[in-house]
Amino acid sequence: MKNRLRVLRAEREWSQADLAERLEVSRQSVNAIETGKFDPSLPLAFKLARLFETTIEGIFTDESQG
Amino acid sequence: MEREINDSALSRYKKRMFVLVVVLALVSQLDFWEFIRHHPTGALAYLLAALPALPFIGIMATYGLYVAELRDELVRTVAKTSLLWSIVATLSVTTLWGFLEMLANAPHLQPLLVLPIFGIFLGIATALVNRRYE
């Protein structure tokens, strides 16, 4: 699943470690989500949306929806 | 912070494993001593022979608890996926070996070796699955 995590993180000048700390997950998780290798659970997706003050759709793009 | 996320689960896992290994060592020693000295038979022999298996079952349950207590969902996913792959690999190898024993007179594989074989596959699977997310 494509996402804008890297952009949103860069806008706030947060490192992957900073974001991981805010989300209470490992940096490996943030990296895997950012690179599209791992899709987060719905609770974590909501947590991301709250953190970046946007919606889940504002962060993630469903690639099957052309 | 990153280490703290899963360290509490790992710490509990290590403590439980330590207790179980100590129990396993004690039970095995007492059990073997009982068999050598008193040569139990019948139901008592079955009961005593089954005792050392209990800590092993506990070790497997402890690993399951560890996976359930992991807070980081990526690490938990890696653990669950690795478990599935290692179960598939162990069942495949033991099934294959069963046919080799039955039809080609291959040496007998002790059922007690299945757990260490599973442990080896779990280690390999964890390393491979982890690489997928690096």
- Alpha-carbon distance values, B43 to B51, B87, B111 (Å): 13, 32, 21
Which tops the pLDDT comparison, B10 or B124? B124
* C-alpha to C-alpha distance for A20 and A4, rounded to whole angstroms: 16
- In the stretch 63-102 of chain B, residues with CB closer than 8 A to chain A read 71-75, 77
pLDDT confidence bin for B42, thresholds 50/70/90 = very high
Chain A residues within an 8 Å CB radius of B70: none
pLDDT confidence bin for A63, thresholds 50/70/90 = confident
- Alpha-carbon distance values, B23 to B11, B29, B64 (Å): 19, 10, 19
What is residue A1's predicted lDDT score, i.e. its pLDDT? 82
Give the pLDDT confidence of B53-83 residue by residue, as tens digits. 999 999 999 999 999 999 899 999 999 999 9
Give the pLDDT confidence of A37-59 residue by residue, as tens digits. 999 999 999 999 999 999 999 99
What is residue A62's predicted lDDT score, i.e. its pLDDT? 81
Q: What is the pLDDT averaged over residues B29-56?
A: 92
Chain B residues within an 8 Å CB radius of A24: 5, 71
pLDDT confidence bin for B90, thresholds 50/70/90 = very high
**Residue to substitute from B2, B8, B75, B78, interface A, most A β-carbons within 10 A:** B2
* C-alpha to C-alpha distance for B17 and A62, rounded to whole angstroms: 43
- How many Cβ contacts (< 8 angstroms) between chains A and B? 41
Which residue bears the tokens 């709250």? Answer: A50
Nearest to A25 among B5, B133, B134 (CB): B5
Which tops the pLDDT comparison, A40 or B4? A40
State the pTM of this model: 0.83
Could you give the angle at the alpha carbon of B53 between the alpha carbons of B51 and B56, nearest 5°? 135
Residue A2 in 3-state DSSP? strand
